[in-house]
Amino acid sequence: MVDLRSVGRGRTLLFGGPFSDREAVDAAIGIRAAGWTADVRPEGGGHLAAWQAHTRPVIVDGRLWVCFPWSEFDRDQARTVVEIDPDGAFGTGGHPTTRMLLAQLVGRIEGGESVLDVGCGSGVLAVAAALLGAASVTAVDISPAAIAATTANAVRNQVGKRVVVSGTPVAELTDRFDVIVANIHAAGLRELAPALLARMAPGGWVGLSGLSPAQVSLVAAAYRPASVIATPVLDDWAALVVVAPAVPGENPPVDGNSH
């Protein structure tokens, strides 16, 4: 049995089956090997309900819908849609550490910015930044699976020309960026602080995530002289947003948007 279902914006889902569990996994692997995206979906009952809950879009501030390519919801009802196939990399959009940085991008990207995504994983932040209007996005990761996933997801979301993906270490980057996002653990963020501060454009902001609330002040101290402008907390996770002085040596602005 093959069933086709349109889910808006030119996206049609193809359902095949019934398969045994083994056949379904093999079919998905074969489809992926041919360059398509595929997942195994339960046929019905509680397993299907759980799968549908898991693949429901993550909606960020009513402006950004993040979902899997195989999510069964009508994309035409959404404003900006980011379709992410993690394919082994981190980042479906649902994790609190990711959601807090997505919210910062939604709230702060005005259009035309240069963005650096450090530890891009699946590319969810990089692709979201591009779809929200960033002029260019540099996405880096130490994991080859993340580089492959981000490259594929940028193409899938038709921003492949504006998202440059690589394994370049931050210390070897030479550009300066209006926006930097990094969702890595506290120790990694502290270690990267000098290199990331050197990559901030005057007046630019950096969103750091993957912290416990108790780690925020320690990480903030590593990013001085950049000033803290927001410290959101979600489900026991914390993030930190700092801004660079508009003129080197001057105090940066504090915008009062603390969440």
Ligand X SMILES: C[S@@+](CC[C@H](N)C(=O)[O-])C[C@H]1O[C@@H](n2cnc3c(N)ncnc32)[C@H](O)[C@@H]1O
Q: Where do contacts with ligand X occur on this chain (CB under 6 A)?
A: 89-91, 98, 101, 118-121, 124-125, 140-143, 146, 183-184, 188, 192, 210
| Shortest Cβ 84–ligand X spacing (Å) | 9
| Shortest Cβ 130–ligand X spacing (Å) | 14
Of the two residues 27 and 234, which places its CB atom closer to ligand X in the complex?
Answer: 234
Of the two residues 84 and 229, which places its CB atom closer to ligand X in the complex?
Answer: 84
Of the two residues 139 and 220, which places its CB atom closer to ligand X in the complex?
Answer: 139
Of the two residues 192 and 200, which places its CB atom closer to ligand X in the complex?
Answer: 192
| Shortest Cβ 248–ligand X spacing (Å) | 25
The CA–CA distances, whole Å, from 204 to 21, 185, 194, 246 equal 50, 22, 15, 8
Q: Give, in degrees to the nearest 5, the angle at Cα 257 between 253 and 259.
A: 135
| Strand locations in 156-199 (E) | 163-166, 177-183
Query: For residues 204 and 192, what is the distance between their CA atoms, to the nearest angstrom?
Result: 17
| Shortest Cβ 76–ligand X spacing (Å) | 26
Of the two residues 55 and 98, which places its CB atom closer to ligand X in the complex?
Answer: 98
| Shortest Cβ 123–ligand X spacing (Å) | 8
